[in-house]
A and B are shown apart, each in its own frame.
Chain A
Amino acid sequence: MHRRGVGAGAIAKKKLAEAKYKERGTVLAEDQIVQMSKQLETFKSNLEEFASKHKQEIRKNPQFRVQFQEMCATIGVDPLASGKGFWSEMLGVGDFYYELGVQIIEVCLALKHRNGGLITLDELHQRVLKGRGKYAQDVSQDDLVRAIKKLKVMGSGFGMIPVGGSYLVQSVPAELNMDHTVVLQLAEKKGYVTVSEIKGSLKWEKERACHVLDHLLKEGLAWLDSQAGGEAQYWLPALFSELTSRDVTPEEANQMTP
């Protein structure tokens, strides 16, 4: 541990340094730390007052949550960085998002055998709501997006792919580059895509299209329907809507691989 110099010589040296700094108008770092400590106390009590008046607003009003998050981002503060942060402790925002994180992870894990680790934000939203039960607080899609952003730091491949006006949420560390993303976006309309469609819409050669589709098959993100009339169709289970599909058990999923 670094010990400050003691003794007359050190004191004299320090006085000299202080004088020099005062001359230049600079403040010593350790004085600033003391200043920060004081400001922190004041801030904490201001935040407590704010919380007592408006904590409910944050709980009930998702629009307010969005504004709050954006203001924090503008000034360089992350209210969700730590459960030990003031924001989390006093406004209760932390627990809300961290618990949401747990629910998101669980939903993605439960469906991975079916969709390979890719799910639409809409479906994720529906399933999370279902899991939260009747008496829990409602969550918006913005809330989900923010929770997912936080999950990224844990390295298990959480990410979001823009598709058709919304997002696909990825929860496995599968490598998906621009080519894969573009094909996913193409498949969004019908839930499946064919090699000809890719060649036609994206003007790729057959090899490039097949390479991308093979990768999606291998990662379990696409299923091959070689019995479709005409050309083989590559289906994305992530894009199946609730109305047109039923749940598949892991055993059934295994039987479906050729």
Chain B
Amino acid sequence: MDRFSWSNGLLEINETLVIQQRGVRLYDGDDKAKLEVGVVLLSTHRLIWRDGKNNDCCLAMPLSQIIFFEEQAAGIGKSAKIVIHLHPSPPNKEPGPYQNSKYSYIKLSFKEHGQIEFYRRLTEEMTQKRWENNPSSQPISTGTGSQAGRTRAVGIVGIERKIEEKRKETDKNISEAFEDLSKLMVKAKEMVELSRSIANKIKDKQGDITEDETIRFKSYLLSMGIANPVTRETHGSGTHYHMQLAKQLGDMLQAPLEERGGMMALTEVYCLVNRARGMELLSPEDLLNACKMFESLKLPLRLRVFDSGVMVVQLESHSEEEMIASALDNVTEKGSLTAEEFAKLLGLSVLLSKERLLLAEKIGHLCRDDSVEGLRFYANCF
């Protein structure tokens, strides 16, 4: 930690911010530094850390000080860390929080995650070494960097050897996983080709496929994640699974829909349903395919797509005329309404209240006043 200098944290002329991450605590070697949790910033030239509560407490260190760095996995009760091994400080280093330290490495402890991206960006910056091409206006000492390349401090060789072994071990695990994955993919590819052949035959009406077999085929496609080219059926991409889902949704969404004026955006439904499930979540496509089956299954819900592309689930009982009439009533009563005001009035989301107003406008009941102050709707007197 004695490599850091106090800093005002402002970036220099040629220096750019690469990434920042909050919730980071610094370690002097293995000991927690006598500092609070803060924000770590990586620029093209420096590693900067700022206290989360006290913006005046800010440290920086040139990236050229870094020899190498490695990830330290999280453990029980311990956050994931990045360990950074450092060159000795240059003699003209500005003062910092530590006069000296017995450690030649520091750790960044990521209490709120973000270590994956930070590690990736740090790797990029240390590979590109952009500070060498664009020296910032403040002199950043790079002398030690080039020298240490030749004179290795004792202990670094041992550390590097350990890193190399660990890398080989990880590589071995990864390459085994990739090998197994590749074999798996070869088999999967065979099935993709087989399914295409079957789909073509169904299209050309070769052979005698019963509807049951078609449904089975579609469920195979679903299991494998193969896009279904056979969509002429009334059920679309639906399978038994989606039929079941549709029925479940029919039960589950009645009350929430009533509470929200009879209409919910598909994204709202997605969040509601998946939060309730907790696990074995629905994919967006699962939800969409299930909703497409509402009508054919005679459930009291409908999937509806507005001109803007927004998709909603609405109660069948809430007729279009009712919605438009109520929109007109509300607007007339208040003189004029924006989507936000309408939303507050009805307890709807802004997105959906806007769609209703647009619908009423389309029919000709409302007209708009479109200015930079916002979009406002009035009763149509024309």
Binding site for B on A (CB under 8 A): 1-4, 14, 17, 21, 26, 28-30, 32-33, 35-37, 39-40, 42-44, 46-47, 50, 53-54, 57, 60-62, 64, 67-68, 71-72, 74-88, 94-95, 98-99, 101-102, 105-106, 112, 122, 125-126, 129-130, 132, 134, 136, 138-141, 150-157, 172-173, 214, 217-218, 224, 241-243, 254, 257-258
Contacts and interface: CB of A to CB of B under 8 A. Distances in A.
A126 B114 contact: yes
Nearest to A140: B116
A36 B195 contact: yes
Nearest to A81: B225
A146 B115 CA distance: 19
Q: Which size bracket describes the interface of B in this complex?
A: 35 or more
Contact of A57 (B177, B216, B280): B177
Contact of B206 (A29, A44, A125): A29
B285 A81 contact: yes
Contact of A122 (B19, B201, B223, B287): B19
A14 B225 contact: no
Contacts of B305: 155
Given A32-B197, A39-B191, A71-B185, A157 B225 contact: no
B35 interface: no
Interface stretch (B92-100, B147-155, B306-314, B319-327): B306-314
Closest 5 CB pairs of A and B: A29-B201, A155-B311, A98-B281, A29-B207, A75-B189
Contacts of B274: 98-99, 101-102
Nearest to B17: A241
Contacts of A88: 283
B130 interface: no
B15 interface: no
Q: A32, A74, A136: which has the most chain B beta carbons within 10 Å?
A: A32
A64 B177 contact: yes
Contacts of B308: 157, 173
Interface stretch (B60-68, B264-272, B293-301): B264-272
Given A77-B224, A138-B80, A33 B213 contact: yes
Contacts of B335: none
B249 interface: no
A35 B173 CA distance: 34
B18 to A, nearest CB: 10
A188 B364 CA distance: 40
Contact of A80 (B198, B213, B225, B310): B225
The A contact surface, by secondary structure, is: helix
Interface of B: 17, 19-23, 73, 79-80, 110-117, 120, 173-174, 177-178, 180-185, 187-192, 194-195, 197-198, 201-202, 206-213, 216-217, 220, 222-227, 241, 265-267, 270-271, 274-275, 279-288, 305, 308-311, 340, 350-351, 370-375
13 contacts: A29-B206, A32-B201, A36-B194, A37-B220, A40-B224, A83-B281, A84-B222, A84-B223, A138-B113, A141-B117, A151-B267, A156-B266, A156-B310
A95 B282 CA distance: 8
B113 A33 contact: no
B112 A129 contact: yes
A132 to B, nearest CB: 7
A62 B189 CA distance: 23
A52 B10 CA distance: 50
